[in-house]
Structure 1
Amino acid sequence: MMRGPITVDRRATIAAIALVLVYFAIELSWHRPPICPCGTVKLWTGAVWSAENSQQISDWYSLSHIIHGFLFYGAAWLILPGRARLWALPFAVAIEGSWELLENSPIIIDRYRAATAAVGYSGDSILNSMSDIGMMVIGFALARRLPVWWTVGIAIFFELLALAVIRDNLTLNVLMLTYPIESIRVWQAAGA
């Protein structure tokens, strides 16, 4: 059976926006910094080893969040039946937002510090967390509109680009959080 692109209707879009507001409120209640503690707001910061990484609107890890959108779209397209597919975007926002909460919890912040080269990591600013969710939505929207081979090609390009520039990417991030390999951690730290 051929399936067309996942439809996103008005109610699902409103639900996705409401979820983003819930995640915003939760992070605010956790006293996460709203913006970079440096006091500035920038569209981009490319300095992975600086205190502004994961604090500004976008950074090298934004590529990973776009790939999350590709993956969530693909999973929804494969798994969700019929009318449930209308709710694929809110489901994707719920997963991404839940990851943002987990990523900014002490257990994951401590895990990043212990198992990866991100020794000084202190979590994301709320601005960066909300932008990460937005990047996932961009990935979801791109996957909805682009042919599968384009989406896969862009994901591979993003992974290789991040690997070449910052010695990290979504694949290594997952690996180092779940099964840290000392030689990879040392190699990543050498790029600092």
Structure 2
Amino acid sequence: MQGNPEEPRLELAAAISESGGQSFRFVVESELTVRAHDLPPTRGTCSGMIDPDAGTGYMRSGELNEHWAVDGIRYQRMGKQRNTLGPGDVSRFIVCHVGRVDEPGFVAADPASLLRDLSGQATIQKINPSTYAFTGTDITGTVTVSDGLVSSLTSTVDSPARGDMPAYHRTVTMTLSGYGEPVQVRAPW
């Protein structure tokens, strides 16, 4: 007897849903190769923590980009520029953006965004008890689940040239941990 082909998608959706709405820590590492320009790969790392219910979090991307949120009030440092942005959606502010929003392989370190992104993928297969593979247009990857929560996501995008974007190859690894742990952040200024 064959299992329900939607079962892996439903299992993964349950793990992603369980991962959302609670505090967590994240690290996103990416590598971009644009072969047309014959440049060495560009690597980036972003890390942080967020408690979406408390409206509190912190994110650092490279040396020049930091975001803080304390009780829903958002602060940003870009190089020497410091901004108090006031109240806003913390779960859309404390994220690591890799690529353009409309590109394949765009990643935001937020389980709710992850659920939306993966729900549109063409196929999701369970490849072992804790790992799911996904395949979509120009993107492939895996999601690892540990104790019912998403612990990592890896993705690879081989995108053809589109409009003003040359063809590129991007790999992204997102690691999530510290679910439910307190997130303590103070206003930076």
* TM norm. shorter chain > 0.5: no
Q: So what's the TM-score if we normalise by structure 2? A: 0.26
Kindly indicate which of the two structures has a greater share of residues assigned to helix. 1
